[in-house]
Amino acid sequence: MRAMLLRPAASLGLLLVIAHVLIAIAAPWIAPFAPTSLLDAPLEPPNATYWLGTDDLGRDAFSRLLWGGRVAMLVAFSAGAVAVLGGALLGLSAAYRRGSFDDVLLRLVEMKLAVPTILFVAIFVTGFGQSVPVLIVAVGIIQMMGVVRTTRAAGIVLMEHGYVRAAQLNGESGPTIILRELLPNVADLMAVEFALRASSALLLVSALSFLGLGISPPTPDWGLMVEDGMALLESEPALVMAPALCIATLVLGINLAAEGLADALGLDAARGGGG
């Protein structure tokens, strides 16, 4: 961590992420209005009462911005966790077992990567409903494919180490070797992957919400706020610029922190985040 913090860009990224997280946590106490309250003041310009103005339904944009960060980060970080945990277990299992299991898993990964992301989410949402848990799983699966390939490659290298061979000779089971010998040795890689996948998930969720496939109204969400505000861009630019700036700064912060962590750990962030 100290090596990471010595890098100015990484420190800036970490500060941006921490700031966003703290603001999101404090949203219930610092938001002046409930995010879904329909106030009797539609399309108010920014003023002392409504800091970012109100939308066409009379909802306070500043309050929705604060609450929208909670939803965006919940989905992005949860999807990142699903991707990294699921991808690491599958990738390491493929590295350990090889053979037909490895071949089938790689074919499934290739098939998934061949399907357009928007089409996959549309099918998933149609089948299971448009909700936050469904969105987390869908985005997590999308992000998981790259993690499978990265951890599989790392696992194949680890399988040649003496301590893994010793565990096999001692009669330890496959799951035990994967969890006890392989998984801890890719923890650094998983930490970097989590940051990269969470960043990618945040952009994806925002894009899906913009297209009507992500968070459902009236739940406050940055992507939804951008979509809702586009029709009013000329008259009320803050309705679009504020959530877009939040998305950009959080993604930038996560990416800078991820690159700093990768450098500190001697990993290649670009390669780790591939796929």
| The pLDDT of residue 5 | 61
Query: Over 80: is that where the pLDDT of 274 sits?
Result: no
Structure tokens at 82: 């699903």
| The pLDDT of residue 190 | 93
Q: How confident is the model at residue 2 (pLDDT cuts 50, 70, 90)?
A: low
pLDDT per position as a tens digit, 214-273: 888 888 999 999 998 988 888 889 999 999 999 999 999 999 999 888 887 777 654 455
Q: Is the full-model pTM beyond 0.85?
A: yes
- Work out the average pLDDT over 137-164: 90
Tell me what the pLDDT averaged over the chain comes to.
Answer: 88
Query: Over 90: is that where the pLDDT of 166 sits?
Result: no
- Work out the average pLDDT over 51-70: 93
pLDDT per position as a tens digit, 85-138: 999 999 999 999 888 888 999 998 888 888 888 888 888 888 888 889 999 999
Q: How confident is the model at residue 41 (pLDDT cuts 50, 70, 90)?
A: confident
2-27+52-272: CATH topology is MetI-like fold (1.10.3720)
- Map out the domains of the chain as residue ranges: 2-27+52-272
| The pLDDT of residue 144 | 92
What percent of the chain has a predicted confidence (pLDDT) above 90? 52
